[in-house]
């Protein structure tokens, strides 16, 4: 029996006692549980699947005992929590014998790797039979205090390349590997796999920016897929070694963190344990993601989300938190500071007004289909109205998707 | 100043503080220059009567009519600026109080900015009745009916000044009281240029430098281009105003003024070179503090370029074609501001068309 340990060269590993799958990370999915509370599960084994599209399965991030299945309003799954047990085995997968698209798709579905793909528009898990116009591999991190994507990809270069090659095989669309400057990634199948360099500000690492530059979403109903580099490494790991890559590399940063650094952790680790003895005393706020695109989370019950590569802890003064609730005037003041906070070609102020009004059709015309929550996070921070554009955008996208 | 803390979130309050801070150099220049104009006129013509409210206030503050020291200028300037500002604040606060009570919302401190802008756009001896009228119009029609700060579609101060100029044309042109002196027949510098060209300017000792520094006659806050530049620098650095709109106005003014120089009749304002267009009158002030009001201007970048060129074209055109508005900045800004939503609408329609054409 293979033991279950984290090994990542040159990185500190941090073990936690609990990890979880979060329902919020997979929007539009009705989960069908394949396990019950108290069951022992193998790491990487399927624990849930999509009720509507049963081919799509979700695998356990760690091995252990299912300790809690948390449900919210209308029995919507909030989290499936697993208490880590190192003695448990790791699920094995047989890599596909031949490399045709159908075999790879089936392998991805069976192993749970499919659930790390996302569509744009809407940010869903793509349909197993779907035909994207392009596939994007986000191979860089440009946000403040992000982990060093170059080092991570180079450390796991074999797995990364295997993952990219497999992804290029699942359909006929071009596959863009969007990487940092001077990374020097090269692939043999250069006809389908196109390496594109992105540099610039914090937004250079957003899939929305890559898609906007290379295959912009219009109003024609097409879609593109994207996936993060760590999920590609995980896919390559499955293909090369037949077992899941049971770690994610995250960075711990922010002015309230005592020792900012990158850590190798279990996917879905509980953030409370990750931050134990890491944070300065005093009031602070915890962000899932960076200080620019991150989302504020409650400290007690939070877990690393799918694709999350950063935990940022910022010290706050008492007055900051008061001010946020004090705004009563929701008018947008279209100052120059709002420009460049959103994808090129989208006018921020008209979009913000459409979102505030909940005018889904107008927001669609103005480019809301190109966006997901993370793309509008900076607008909420810069706008004097303190509107939460991320949740306003989500409402609009939900309505647009329902009307499709 | 408790009401400053009553309403807004941090960002909105900081924005207002920045806008007021940006108006500080202009306000100081207004104090000094208004006093200087008053005292200089008196020095030239000692028969003018100073026995009115402002003259008595200036004397009471210790301004000597015989000398042109800095203190004398400040005191005389204060005697002109402070009563108007105090009255504008009083009227603005009064209406804000009424509106907030009717709406059961906290008072919004934006009326302070409206009052200051409105004051700086008036001549030093504006009638108090005009102040009450214009400020009331600004607060009610320009601001109140739209829902207050950030929800207006015209700059309230601009609207207030425009209604005063339209209702009392003597304010806009050949105002007999630039300096509060009964019997004084001077006029603002740009009107002087209209009548006599550059020769008339040099006859009253106005050169490029004095127009740049602002020791010319005109509405109180608008004469000093250098003070306007200081405020503009702050607003640009803090990314409050759109640089595209500002650059478009200046470029547009250069282009259209040169165009009229080449094609015009060679008399009056059509022969006015671009640098006089920039330096005289309230163009610089209006371009920075009124046209670039983020709430009342185009909110898309292409729209900002278009609006900027439109303002410049209108300023030059009205200056050349309509001698009843020698300064032309207020009507031009008002027209362009009214057109801003239409410009945005067209720009957005064009943007949507581009999105429709994509094949994805």
Condensed to tens digits (0 to 9), the pLDDT of residues B113-159 reads 999 999 999 888 888 999 999 999 999 999 999 988 888 989 999 99
Mean predicted lDDT score pLDDT of chain B: 86
Specify whether B162 is located in the same domain as B210: no
A359-384: average pLDDT: 91
Residue A230 domain flag: yes
A218·B357 Cβ contact <8 A? yes
- In chain A, whose CA is at the least distance from the CA of B347? A347
Q: Write out the H or E segment, with its range, that includes residue A85.
A: none
- Rounded to whole angstroms, the Cα distance separating A334 from A339 reads 9
Q: Which residues of A touch B110 (CB under 8 A)?
A: none
Structure confidence at residue B174 as a pLDDT band (50, 70, 90): very low
Chain B residues whose CB is inside 8 A of the A219 CB are 355-356, 358
Chain A residues bordering chain B (beta-carbon distance below 8 Å): 133, 215-220, 222-224, 320, 323-324, 326-329, 331-337, 339, 345, 347, 349-350, 365-367, 382-386
- What was the pLDDT predicted at B37? 85
List the single residue in B with minimal CA-CA distance to A221.
B360
**Range of the structural domain that residue A37 is part of:** 12-84
Neighbours of B68 (CB within 10 A): 15
Say what the ipTM of the complex is: 0.87
Please give the Cα distance from B302 to B306 (Å, whole number).
6
A183 and A197 part of one domain:
yes
Domain end, chosen from A324, A345, A370, is at: A324
Using an 8 Å CB-CB cutoff, list chain B residues near A333: 12, 15, 150, 294-295
Instruction: Find which of A214, A334, A351, A387 to mutate to test the B interface (most B CBs within 10 Å of its CB).
Output: A334
Among B11, B17, B235, the residue to mutate for chain A (most A Cβ within 10 A): B11
- Do B168 and B204 lie in one domain? The reply is no
The reply to whether B163 and B221 lie within a common domain is no
Residue of A nearest to B292 (CA): A335
Q: Which of B172, B210, B209 is nearest to B191 (CA)?
A: B172
A232 occurs within a structural domain:
yes
Q: Examine the domain organization and report whether A225 and A270 are in the same domain.
A: no
Number of domains in chain A: 4
B203 and B160 within one domain: no
Q: In the prediction, which pLDDT does B239 show?
A: 92
| CB within 8 Å of A34: residues ≥ 6 apart | A46, A47, A48, A49, A57
Domain of residue B260: give its range.
198-351
Record: contact A350-B344, CB cut-off 8 A: yes
Residue numbers in B near A345 (CB within 8 A): 351, 354-355
Q: Confidence band (pLDDT; 50, 70, 90) for A171?
A: confident
Distance from CA of B254 to the nearest CA of A (A): 24
CB contact under 8 A, B295 and A334: yes
DSSP A277: T
Contact A367 B355 (CB under 8 A): yes
> Which among A197, A218, A241 is the end of a domain?
A241
**pLDDT at res. A86:** 74
Which residue in chain A is spatially nearest to B146 when comparing CA positions? A331
Confidence at B7, pLDDT banded by 50, 70, 90? very low
Establish if B314 belongs to a structural domain.
yes
Q: What is the pLDDT of residues A32-49, one digit of tens each?
A: 999 999 999 999 999 999
- B203/B168 same-domain check: no
Q: Do B8 and A329 touch (CB under 8 A)?
A: yes
In this complex, the residue of B9, B148, B351 whose CB is nearest that of residue A323 is B9
DSSP tag of A286: E
- Residue A339: its chain B contacts at CB < 8 A? 242, 301
Asked if residue B1 has pLDDT above 50, the reply is no
From chain B, pick out residues whose CB is under 8 angstroms from the CB of A382.
11
Question: For the segment A236-293, what is each residue's pLDDT rounded down to a tens digit?
Answer: 999 999 889 988 999 999 889 998 999 999 999 999 888 888 888 888 888 888 888 8
Phi, psi of A177 (to 5 degrees): -100, 105
Structural domain ending residue among the three candidates A299, A324, A349 = A324
What separation in angstroms does the CA of A30 have from each of A75, A115, A268? 10, 13, 19
Measured in residues, chain B has a length of 360
| Cα dihedral sign, B162-B168-B174-B178 | negative
Output the average pLDDT for chain A: 88
A226 shares its domain with A117:
yes
Query: Are B12 and B155 within one domain?
Result: yes
CB contact under 8 A, B9 and A332: no
What is d(CA B124, CA B89) in angstroms, rounded to the nearest whole number? 16
| CB nearest to A386's CB, from B9, B15, B241 | B9
Q: What pairs with residue A125 in β-bridges?
A: none
pTM of the model: 0.89
Number of domains forming the structure of chain B = 2
How confident is residue A326, by pLDDT bands cut at 50, 70 and 90? very low
Nearest to B360 among A133, A382, A386 (CB): A133
Residue B266 — left, alpha, or beta (φ > 0 → left; ψ -120 to 50 → alpha)? left
Q: Are B7 and B148 members of one domain?
A: yes
Sheet with A77-84: strands ordered across: A18-22, A77-84, A64-71, A40-41
* Judgement on whether residues A158 and A233 belong to the same structural domain of the protein: yes
Which residues in chain A are closer than 8 Å to B351, comparing Cβ atoms?
345, 347, 366
pLDDT value for A106: 92
Query: C-alpha distances in angstroms, A162 versus A1, A12, A144, A196, A397?
Result: 26, 25, 29, 18, 34
């Amino acid at each position: 029996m293979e033991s279950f340990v984290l090994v990542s060269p040159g990185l500190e590993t941090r073990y936690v006692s609990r990890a979880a799958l979060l329902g919020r990370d997979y929007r539009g999915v009705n989960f069908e549980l394949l396990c019950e509370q108290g069951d022992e599960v193998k790491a990487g084994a399927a624990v849930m699947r999509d009720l509507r599209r049963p081919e799509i399965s979700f695998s356990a991030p760690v091995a252990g005992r299912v300790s809690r299945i948390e449900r919210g309003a209308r029995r919507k799954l909030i989290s499936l929590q697993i208490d880590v047990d190192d003695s448990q085995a790791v699920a094995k997968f047989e890599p596909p014998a031949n490399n045709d698209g159908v075999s790879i798709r089936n392998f991805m579905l069976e192993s749970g790797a499919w659930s790390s793909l996302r569509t744009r528009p809407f940010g869903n898990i793509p349909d197993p039979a779907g035909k994207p116009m392009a596939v994007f591999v986000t191979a860089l991190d440009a946000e403040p205090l992000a982990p060093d994507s170059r080092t991570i990809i180079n450390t796991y270069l074999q797995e990364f390349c295997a993952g990219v090659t497999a992804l290029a095989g699942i359909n006929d669309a071009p596959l863009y590997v969007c990487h940092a400057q001077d990374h020097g990634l090269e692939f043999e199948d250069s006809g389908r796999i196109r390496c594109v360099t992105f540099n610039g500000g914090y937004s250079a690492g957003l899939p929305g920016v890559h898609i906007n530059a290379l295959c912009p979403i219009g109003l024609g109903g097409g879609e593109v897929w994207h996936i993060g580099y760590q999920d590609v490494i995980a896919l390559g790991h499955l293909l090369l070694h037949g077992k899941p890559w049971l770690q994610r590399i995250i960075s711990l940063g922010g002015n309230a963190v005592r020792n900012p650094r990158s850590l190798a952790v279990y996917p879905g680790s509980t953030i409370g344990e990750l931050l134990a003895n890491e944070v300065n005393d005093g009031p602070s706020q915890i962000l899932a993601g960076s200080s620019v695109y991150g989302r504020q989370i409650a400290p007690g019950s939070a877990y690393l989300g799918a694709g999350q590569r950063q935990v940022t802890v910022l010290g706050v003064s008492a007055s900051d938190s008061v001010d946020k609730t004090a705004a009563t005037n929701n008018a947008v003041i279209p100052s120059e500071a709002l420009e460049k906070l959103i994808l090129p070609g989208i006018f921020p102020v008209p979009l913000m007004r459409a979102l505030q009004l909940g005018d889904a059709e107008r927001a669609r015309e103005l480019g809301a289909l190109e966006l997901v929550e993370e793309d509008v996070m900076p607008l909420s921070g810069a706008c004097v109205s303190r509107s939460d554009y991320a949740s306003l955008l989500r409402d609009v996208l939900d309505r647009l998707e329902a009307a499709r | 100043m408790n009401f400053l803390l009553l309403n807004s979130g941090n960002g909105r309050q900081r924005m207002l503080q920045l806008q007021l801070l940006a108006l500080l150099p202009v306000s100081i220049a207004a104090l000094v220059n208004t006093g200087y104009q008053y005292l200089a006129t008196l020095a030239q013509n000692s028969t003018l009567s100073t026995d009115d409210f402002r003259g008595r206030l200036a004397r009471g503050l210790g301004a000597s009519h015989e000398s042109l020291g800095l203190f004398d200028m400040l005191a005389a300037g204060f005697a002109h600026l402070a009563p108007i500002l105090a009255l504008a604040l009083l009227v603005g606060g009064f209406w804000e109080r009424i509106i907030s009570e009717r709406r059961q919302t906290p008072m919004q401190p934006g009326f302070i900015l409206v009052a200051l802008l409105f004051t700086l756009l008036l001549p030093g001896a504006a009638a108090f009745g005009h102040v009450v009228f214009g400020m009331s119009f600004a607060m009610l029609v320009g601001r109140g009916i739209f829902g207050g700060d950030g929800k207006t579609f015209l700059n309230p101060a601009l609207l207030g000044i425009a209604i005063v100029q339209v209702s009392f044309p003597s304010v806009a042109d050949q105002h007999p009281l630039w300096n509060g002196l009964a019997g004084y027949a001077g006029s603002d510098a740009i009107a002087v240029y209209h009548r006599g060209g550059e020769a008339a300017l040099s006859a009253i000792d106005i050169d490029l430098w004095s127009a740049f520094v602002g020791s010319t006659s005109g509405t109180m806050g608008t004469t000093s281009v250098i003070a306007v530049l200081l405020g503009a620098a702050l607003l640009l650095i803090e990314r409050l105003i759109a640089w595209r709109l500002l650059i478009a106005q200046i470029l547009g003014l250069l282009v259209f003024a040169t165009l009229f120089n080449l094609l015009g009749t060679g008399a009056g304002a059509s022969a006015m070179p671009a640098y006089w267009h920039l330096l005289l009158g309230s163009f610089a002030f209006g371009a920075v503090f009124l046209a670039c009001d983020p709430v009342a201007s185009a909110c898309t970048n292409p729209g900002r370029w278009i609006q900027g060129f439109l303002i410049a074209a209108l300023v030059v055109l009205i200056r050349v074609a309509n001698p009843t508005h020698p300064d032309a900045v207020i009507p031009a800004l008002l027209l362009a501001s009214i057109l801003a939503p239409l410009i945005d609408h067209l720009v957005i329609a064009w943007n949507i068309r581009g999105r429709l054409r994509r094949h994805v």
